[in-house]
Structures are given as C-alpha cells and as structure tokens.
Amino acid sequence: MSRECTFLVVGGGIAGVSCAEALAICASNASILLLTESSIVKSVTNLVPVARYLHKFDVRETNVTDLSAGITTIVDQLEHINSSEHWARTKTGIIIKYRYICLCTGGAPKLFNAAKCEERIIGIRDTDSVLELQRRLASAKDVLILGNGGIASELAHELHDVNVHWVIKDAHISATFVDPGAAEFFQLAKSETGEELGAAAVTTAIKRMRYSEEEQLQQQSKRGAALGPDWHRNFDLAGGDAASSRRLPKVYYKSHIKHIEQLPIDGTLQVTLKHEDDSQEQLNCDFIVSATGVQPRLDFTTDVPLQLAEDGGINVDEMMRSNLCDVYAAGDVCTSAWDPAQHWFQMRLWTQARQMGAMAGRSMAAQFEGETVYQDFCFELFGHVTQLFGFPVVLLGRFNGQGLGRDYELLVRCTRNKEYIKFVLQQGRLRGAILIGDTDLAETCENLILNGTDLEPYGDDILNPNIDIEDYFD
C-alpha cells in the first residue's frame, strides 16, 4: 500500500499537532498527513496571554480524526526514511511519498539503570505510565523518587498516603527550575499548609547578593504523547498507607544511589545511598520513580545518518531543518543547533514544543511556496509558565543565571507563603527572573529584559513592595 502527500508530520504530541496546524494555515491547498502511533493526539486549548510573548494554556487530548480540516492521519509507526528518494515506510509496510517531512517523535524517560531491579524502576511519560504508577502505589508504603526536575517536584507534592523518599544530587529541591531561596520558600509553604499564618509570616524581605556570596551561603492505548500541565489533576496518586498521609517527603540532599538489591521475601528494594561526605545510608522502598530526564526518541532508521547533538537530539537550525534534505524536526526530539538569542535557551517543555512545531510548519510551507520566512520572535526570550508546589511560577530569560558565569547580581523579594521574586541582574540590566505567586510582574519583566533597560539608578527600590514597578515602567 502507498500514500502520497506534500507534507508528512510524524508524531501526535504538541509539536507534531502544532506543526500540522501551522501547515494547514500556511499551505492550505497542500496535502498534509500526520503519522502517529497513537490515535489520541494532543492539542493546545485555552491559550491565555500572561505577558506579550508568554502564554499559559491547557492541553487537550483529542482523537486524530477530530483534527482540523485539511489534515489527514494514519495511526502507525514510522520505521524508515529514505531522504534521498523522499519516501518513508511505516511498521505495517505503508510507503508514504512526501515532499517535506517533519519529525516530532518526542522523547522517552531516561531511566536510572540498575541491573536485576529494572522491573521495580519506572518512569513517567504518558497516560499508560501514570496508570502503572497508580497501580503500584495502591499497595505501596514507601516510594523513592530519584531526580530533581519537573516530574520529581510534581510527585513530591502530589503523592499521598505513602512515605516519599526524595533523593537529589543537589543541595536544594527543584534545582532544574529554581534557586535555593525559592526552594526554601516552597518547603516552608508546604510544611505550613493548613496552619494559620501569623502577622510575622507576611513580612517582606528584600536581599541583594553577588552570585559568589550566594554560593558561599549554601554549601488505549499505546505509547502516546507526553503528559503536560496539571496531568496529576486527573489521577488520584494515593499510596497504600493512609497512616503516612500527612507526612512530608523526606529529602536526601547531595545524595546518589550507590547500590540496589531486591529482597527475596517480598521483592522490596533495599537501596544504599551515598552522601556527599561519603557517608552511606540504607532505606527500603516498594519501587523507584526515576524522574531523571528525557532522551529523544528515534525508533526509526534513515538512509543517511541524522546529525545528532550530544544529548541525542536531532540537530536543527533556526528554520528547524536537520542535516537531511527536506527533513525537519521539532519538539523534544530535536536540539537547537543555531546561535541562540541572548535571552533564550532550549528546555524540553510544552511551550517550546508548540513554538518549534509551529516554526517548522511555517518554515516548510515557506520553502514549498518559495517564500522567505524569519525565525519567530518567541525564540528571543525564554519563558515558561507552570505550577510548582501549588504556586503559579513564571520563569523568564536566564532565570537561574544560566550561561552568565559569575558576573551577575541577584535581587530577591520574598513574602512568606505568598510570593518569591528573583531578579537576575547583569551590569544593571535584567537578564532573567523567577516569579512565584500572583506577582503580576511578568509583562514588566519581559519588557525590561527585552529592552535592556538600565535599572542601576533605581537600586533596590526596583523590588520595593511599596513601589508599583508596573507603573514605573509601563
């Protein structure tokens, strides 16, 4: 059996669907085919602007047949691409002749490797994996979460009726997203949940510090698309030990797993942790959630090797082109290999999957129509809107001083249990910000970063709670 199309998009996650939708707008007369291994695809809904270039949105699961008019679909798996002859073959043997192809095959959890105990180590990616987590939780008393990024932070907050052992390499929680100050803010808020907050609790503190000082202070399914914002709202993540319901997760800082052994009697895992000071500690758990990042998914072959980045992603240029002729890539499967703008860097997130998918769609359409297209403005500024430990969080620019070396200052305002605001300043200019709580500062920060406004003359007043900085600069 064979099919023919102008544009072939592979993957029904947010990148693939955004790409196909952009094509349906920009090249409405061309044939667009979406090839995806699951009949459930993801699309963006309820897009709400948080600032000029920053949006929050929900992700909807729909059946492939409900996609916009102009997009036809095949539920199958890509097996091989012959880029020289412009055709692809699926697992069931369908040959698809295409003019342009975009690979949006996402990623898979990069699991902690422990020989003989694999069966008790799980990752979270799609609905199936959460159902598996739920199944194991039902009879579990102790769970070990390994990793310190998005998934670990969400699970540490959401799991209940189970003892949570959270093992992290760093000196503070949620290190991929926040700094030690924000981590402490979250932990305090979590431990005080339900308690009455006294007057002292809402005192605001402002602190400015050099980076180096701060450093001294802290010594149906088939495999489907990745889950997304608020996925845990749809699942009850209760364990099998109601007695532990109110206990906070136990965090093992600066630690890593040295050894795991499965006990013969009941299959429990006996885990030996090694701490930074070389001391060791043993704990038992029913299973481990390895929340240790993603690796790009490339379960197909190509006639000419794809050029991959160090992290295993397909290298793409600013037009989302790979090294193969007329082969594009977007989302978690790709790695940006262009010279990034001053305030942008790649993180494997919904937002970027959507932006890259749409960019690939526009870029392919322009190539087809013989038009010129420029890289979208969204790649000028890193922006991420999320929720952590029940708080709204906005991350902008180089929010953790990424790539700034030691040459920057931090200005922090913190109101316990209410808000945490951190400005990353370099030579008086705002280079990044962490905004936790309902701060209403996202758009102002976005402008300050993009305009490179000199904030030196305002000193610490820039975060003075009695001064409305929105009025100052709008």
Ligand X SMILES: NC(=O)C1=CN([C@@H]2O[C@H](COP(=O)(O)OP(=O)(O)OC[C@H]3O[C@@H](n4cnc5c(N)ncnc54)[C@H](OP(=O)(O)O)[C@@H]3O)[C@@H](O)[C@H]2O)C=CC1
For residues 16 to 35, the per-residue mask of contacts with ligand FAD, x marking binding by CB under 6 A and - elsewhere, is x------------------x
End-to-end CA distance of the chain: 60
- Tokens 């020989």 identify what position? 115
Contact 271, 255 (CB under 8 A): no
Paired with 85 in beta bridges are: none
Q: Which of residues 90-149 bind ligand FAD (CB under 6 A)?
A: 104-107, 124-125
Among 54, 294, 434, 450, binds ligand X (CB under 6 A): 294
Which value, in Å, is the radius of gyration of the alpha carbons in the chain? 24
Return the number of the residue (27 or 101) whose C-beta is nearest ligand FAD.
Answer: 101
Q: Which of residues 291-310 bind ligand FAD (CB under 6 A)?
A: 297, 299-300
Among 7, 112, 287, 423, binds ligand X (CB under 6 A): 112
State the Cα–Cα distance between residues 93 and 234, nearest whole angstrom. Answer: 37
Tell me the backbone φ, ψ of residue 338, rounded to 5 degrees.
-90, 165
Q: Which two tokens stand for residue 323?
A: 């090294």
DSSP for 399-423, please give it.
TT-TT-TT--EEEEEEETTTEEEEE
Q: Which two tokens stand for residue 301?
A: 């072959």
Among 348, 413, 416, 422, binds ligand FAD (CB under 6 A): 348
For residues 375 to 404, the per-residue mask of contacts with ligand X, x marking binding by CB under 6 A and - elsewhere, is -----------x------------------
| Cβ count within 10 A of residue 462 | 21
Contact partner at residue 147 from ligand FAD, ligand X, none, CB < 5 to 8 Å by partner kind: ligand X
Return the number of the residue (73 or 367) whose C-beta is nearest ligand FAD.
Answer: 73
Min dist CB 155 to ligand FAD, Å, is 9
Q: Which two tokens stand for residue 430?
A: 């705002």
Min dist CB 347 to ligand X, Å, is 6
Contact 50, 394 (CB under 8 A): yes
State the Cα–Cα distance between residues 297 and 313, nearest whole angstrom. Answer: 8
Q: Taking contact as CB under 6 A, which single stretch among the options 233-241, 288-296, 312-320, 408-416 is the one that binds ligand X?
A: 288-296
Residue ranges that bind ligand X, judged by CB under 6 A: 112, 146-152, 154, 169, 175-176, 256, 291-294, 347-349, 386
Residue ranges that bind ligand FAD, judged by CB under 6 A: 10-16, 35-38, 77-78, 104-107, 124-125, 150-151, 223-229, 231, 297, 299-300, 331-333, 348-351, 353, 386
